[in-house]
Amino acid sequence: MKIASEILSWVFLPLFMPVYGLLIAMYVPSNQDYLFNEDSLFFLNDSAKSAILYLFLIFSVIAPGLSFLILKKRNIITTIDMENQRERSIPMFLMLAYCLVLYFLFVIKAQDNILPKYVYALPLSGVFVTVFFTFINRWIKISLHAGGAGILTGFTFEYAMEQMEFQFWILILVIIASGLTISARLYLKKHTPTELIAGWCLALFITFSINFLYPIG
């Protein structure tokens, strides 16, 4: 069980969750409207999908991951997991910066919301989730893994809600993934139930709300 929990913690690392959400939206068949599909990521051409995923991989996975490794090498953080509550401020600030850069990159390079709104709303969700988590971390060690699962769940459910056609089994899979993530962190005794549930619920609510309210181009 310990090995399985550790594997799940790495598979569902918070940095990966936005990319998982995009992969679901881009490659699981869906249809927002039979006539107008401007906000359906599934109907983007392959080059646009690749470019978007490439940017998300750089700013959501590679750049933060390398930054955390540098912080660990310089003994600013003791573990990549950021188990120490007091060590989280700098890594979370860096994550906030990367999310902001990614958001404004899309706003500047793809002006007037010419891309589906989710491309802009997802990194913006990361900004707000990171801000709230940084603030709450002053009192409790809110779970970043559960937060990542909440982002994936909030994004997928909001995206599915606005589609006329969507694969229902994906929603069940996302809930199972969230449950596995939370269970793994609880089994490894990295967090209390309160820290896990608070992280998941808050990230889900913020991500769902921003993707729902973000203006359509």
Question: Could you write out the DSSP letters of every residue in 136-197?
Answer: HTTTS---HHHHHHHHHHHHHHHHHHT-SB--HHHHHHHHHHHHHHHHHHHHTTSS-HHHHH
Q: What is the mean pLDDT of residues 154-180?
A: 93
Q: Give tens-digit pLDDT for 41-98.
A: 998 999 999 999 999 999 999 999 999 999 988 888 887 777 777 888 889 999 999 9
- Partners of 165 in the beta sheet? 31
> What pTM does this model have?
0.92
Q: Give tens-digit pLDDT for 12-35.
A: 999 999 999 999 999 998 876 544
Q: For residues 60 and 123, give the distance between their C-alpha atoms in angstroms, rounded to a whole number.
A: 9
pLDDT score at 84: 77
Residue predicted with more confidence, 43 or 37: 43
Residues 6 or more apart whose CB falls under 8 angstroms from that of 1 comprise: 187
pLDDT score at 153: 98
pLDDT score at 35: 46
pLDDT band at 2 (very low <50, low <70, confident <90, very high): confident
pLDDT score at 34: 47
